[in-house]
Amino acid sequence: MQDVFAASISIAFHGVALAMVLYLVSVGLSITMGLMGFVNLAHGAFAAAGGYVALTLMNDLGVPFPLSLAIAAFSVGAASMVLERLLYSRLYGEHELSQVMFTIGLILVTTGGAKAIWGPLSLPMHPPSYLRGDVDLWFRSFPTYRSFIIAAGVVLVTALWLGLERTRFGAQVRAAVDNRRMAQSIGINTSRLFTLTFALGSALAALGGAIGSEIWAIDTSYAQEHLVYFLIVVAVGGLGSIRGPFFASLLLGVSDTAFKYLLPEFGAFFIYALTLVLLLWRPQGLFGRA
Amino acid sequence: MSTSAAALETRGLCKSFGALPVASDIDFRLEQGARHALIGPNGAGKTTFVNLVTGALPPSAGRIYLGGEDVTALPQARRVKRGLARTFQINTLFRGLSVLENVALAIGERMGVAGDLMRPAGSRSGVIERAFAALERLGIAEDAGRLVRELPYGRQRLVEIAVALGLEPKVLLLDEPAAGVPGAENGTIVETIESLPAEIAVLIIEHDMDLVFRLARRITVLVQGSVLVEGTPAEIGADPRVREVYLGEREHR
Amino acid sequence: MTATAGAEQAIGRLAGRHRLRPLEALPWVIAIAAYFLFPDYLPLGAQVLIMVLFALSLDLILGYGGIITLGQAAFFGVGGYTAGLLGAHGWSEPITGLLAAGAVAGAFGVVTGLIVLRTEKLTLLMLTLMVNVMLYEAANKASTITGGSDGLQGVVISPVLGLFRFDIFGRTAYLYALAVLFLAWLLVRRIVHSPFGRSLTGIRENVARMHAIGSPVLLRRLTAYTIAAALSGVAGALLTQATQFVGQESLSVDRSGGVLIVLILGGFGRLYGAFVGAPLYMIAQDRLSALDPSYWPLAIGALLIAVVMLARGGVLGICDTLIAWLRRRGRP
């Protein structure tokens, strides 16, 4: 009984850590989808890029961890703005197939590019010394870095939600997600809004990828490998929703950890089956609009 | 209890989006062969009502009857098969297809041959002939070969009506048929509606009051999702409540 | 019936759209010519023909039905493994094996379609991808049956019609694939020009309108999805029978992506995009992989972006533009 309890705590803990990573990466995808109606399958590439930048800075240039994270977030955010202005924006409102094929092309290019620069192996992740080892939390000890992931996740999510609720920018985003045409007619500069939101989503994804690199290693197949999970989070959470993917991430993170621990031979199979059932029952997701 | 079934009837029809009610307890009767208009200020819920009746939107409560039969649970396509057709407020035609083909698709569905996998669509000359005849009846036969997107807006509205008529409806819901149509073409639309077969029960949603008073024998006024009053054009024209709520904002042509 | 000349033309065009045009014989002429002109490349040729069939089946739901799927390889793989398992367990007759594979793949199509087709956009995309990944994982795990990552060994296929042995030069494989492709093409062409096919186009163009004219949208989509699944399964089975082997690659997401790229390159929704895109893609892949396999993703990704940005209709779209331009030049 004691063991079951201990195992449950472990699963919950690691599951929540994974959920934080999932949410940080996926929330940008959900907002992009809700705001611009654009299915950005290449979104995971921003997470991978964040990981590549941060880890290269840390491993090869000895840049301190917090600074590496900040640089990763800003640089990926900035790069995504360029991509958005040059390429993505040309496809808004276009045939969905064009959007899908473009993002597939982008995944291929970034994958190939990453392989050319960093090679096919995954980058090693060495947490800074003050985040290694275990930390004592109430009744037992937990890995410090994972605790950091959860803490950082909570802080970032809170900041995001407050930002979207309290700031004018946030209000504009929420209005535009709700009804794009209406938003335009009341004078919101939607194209600038799109660019900024896209950058914000990509920067968050970069942070998620970098911080989460201890759970999901950074390698050239990152974007492809985890694509299904990002899509599940958004689809189950509800397209365009901001809170929905959070609960979907919790669900997915804990389930994935649980299944990998309890039934390792079946891997993600049960997750997929559960997703099918959930979407059969509610095709619009948990928080989506019917 | 009435022995003659209405062509279309709703009882206690309600719809809410979350906490926002857009239709409240609507009791509505469209008689056979009616010429009935639904008017009301912007945002009154007129198009929502049409969407509820056609099945594009599921109601929160209430029942819908087509020719006396309860169709509340039926999906949209099945209601069409039972004789309910609508036009859209904004043109919803296949812009890249020809006028003829737009109507032919509807007639194909009506004749039950649209699901045929094996015979060439062209060989169903019955469908094409009937589609052409439908265009002739509306006086737009010479546009048969033109793509919808090449037509002036007023003509497109006529094609919308042609498509709806192709379904051989018993109940026809026209959602602002003259909306956005410039003055010259407006007359054709009005004439078309006037010459619709007498057996079809027609419900028109319109803002243009001249049109309404010309075409309608009965008028229902909808305000904020519920029925304010219903009556003959004379009664409605004289009702002070209606004046206050709606006729004060009357559009001038 | 009185009609102006323009209207008569419209009726004539609509009624005659399904008639065969001489240009449509071109792919078959080329395919047969290739048999005699490139005897050393017949195995590659067979693979090209199989890819054409695969892309053709996808075009039915993607190009005509407007259903974007990231997991069509699921059906390709199901068909491939069905044919493989039959061949490995004593049922080596190829034609019945092919039909069985198509039937199984079609059944999968119905079951998954019932779930997937109720959703749209990102959710639909995700579900098709997920089903593909699920099947891939399942095949991996059930390695005692499927051979896992090593693939299914010991597949034995008897001569076609008892006469044509699958030889190492690929002659039988090529002609067999060509015959199957021809029959499939006849079928798809028929469907596309039928009232059903037209209604699929309608569903793609404007779903709201189709509902409003009483079209049973889900049923039509499901039918198209099932037929496409069955044909994809046949393509997969062809590959298994021609190579006497089936591996995980048949079920992979890479293969799903590949067939999508083939259609984009050639031009989707036009029946012949598959015929143009498949040879382009496969020959390019064959040549470039020989040079340096690691540059293939980069190259094809860049090409894909270029096509989407500049030539959305693929090669056939470019041809259309050229022909229209030439016509304008020709007029005084």
Length of chain C measured in residues: 332
Which residues of C make CB contacts under 8 Å with A?
Answer: 62, 68, 70, 115, 118-119, 121-123, 125-127, 129-131, 133-134, 137-138, 141, 253, 257, 260-261, 264, 268, 294-305, 307-309, 312
Q: What is the mean pLDDT of residues A142-170?
A: 89
- Name the CATH architecture for the domain at C22-330: Orthogonal Bundle (1.10)
- On whether the CB atoms of residues A181 and A190 are closer than 8 A, the answer is no
In the chain, the amino acid numbered C330 is G
pTM for this structure?
0.88
Q: Domain locations in chain C?
A: 22-330
What residues of chain B lie within 8 A of the CB of C14, using their CB? 98, 100-101, 104, 121-122, 128
pLDDT tier at B124, thresholds 50, 70, 90: low
Length of chain B measured in residues: 253
Contact C305 A106 (CB under 8 A): yes
- The pairs formed by B115-119 with CB atoms below 8 angstroms and a separation of 24 or more are B115/C195, B115/C196, B115/C199, B115/C216, B115/C219, B115/C220, B116/C194, B116/C195, B116/C196, B117/C190, B117/C191, B117/C194, B117/C196, B117/C197, B117/C223, B118/C190, B118/C191, B118/C194, B119/C194, B119/C195
Interface test with A, best of C70, C122, C310 (most A CBs within 10 A): C122
Among C134, C264, C297, beta carbon nearest to A112: C297
- On whether the CB atoms of residues A60 and A110 are closer than 8 A, the answer is no
pLDDT in tens, A89-133: 888 878 888 999 999 999 999 999 999 899 888 899 888 888 888
Closest residue on chain C to B133 (Cα): C1
A69 touches chain C (CB under 8 A): no
Residue B152 pLDDT more than 80? yes
C274-311 burial, b for 16+ CB within 10 Å, e for fewer? Answer: bbbbbbbbbeebeeeeeeeeeebbbbbbbbbbebbeeb
- On whether the CB atoms of residues A207 and A72 are closer than 8 A, the answer is yes
Residue C28 pLDDT more than 80? yes
Interface test with C, best of A229, A231, A265 (most C CBs within 10 A): A231
What residue ranges define each of the domains in chain B, with the CATH number in brackets?
A: 1-83+169-253 (3.40.50.300), 94-167 (no CATH)
Q: What is the mean pLDDT of residues C129-144?
A: 90
What residues of chain C lie within 8 A of the CB of A227, using their CB? 129
Residue C44 pLDDT more than 80? yes
pLDDT tier at C101, thresholds 50, 70, 90: very high
Closest residue on chain C to A236 (Cα): C123
In the chain, the amino acid numbered C12 is G
Cα–Cα dist A239/C129, whole Å? 17
Distance from C53 to chain B by nearest Cα, in Å? 19
C208 touches chain B (CB under 8 A): yes
Cα–chain-centroid distance for residue B88? 7
Residue C332: other Cβ atoms inside 10 A: 2
> Which helix or strand (DSSP H or E) is residue A89 part of?
none
What residues of chain C lie within 8 A of the CB of A225, using their CB? none
Contact C208 B92 (CB under 8 A): yes
Measured between alpha carbons, how far is residue A205 from residues A74, A109, A198, A200, C122 in Å? 11, 19, 10, 9, 19
Contact B93 C209 (CB under 8 A): yes
ipTM: 0.88
Query: In chain A, helix, strand, coil percent, each to 5?
Result: 75, 5, 20
- On whether the CB atoms of residues C60 and C228 are closer than 8 A, the answer is yes
A227 touches chain C (CB under 8 A): yes
Pairing of strands B35-39, B84-87: unpaired
Q: Look at residues A44, A52, A28 and name the one whose alpha carbon lies nearest to residue A213.
A: A52
* Cross-strand pairs, B87: B174
pLDDT in tens, A39-64: 899 999 999 999 999 999 999 998 99
Give C85's contacts (C-beta < 8 A, 6+ positions apart).
Answer: C145, C146, C152
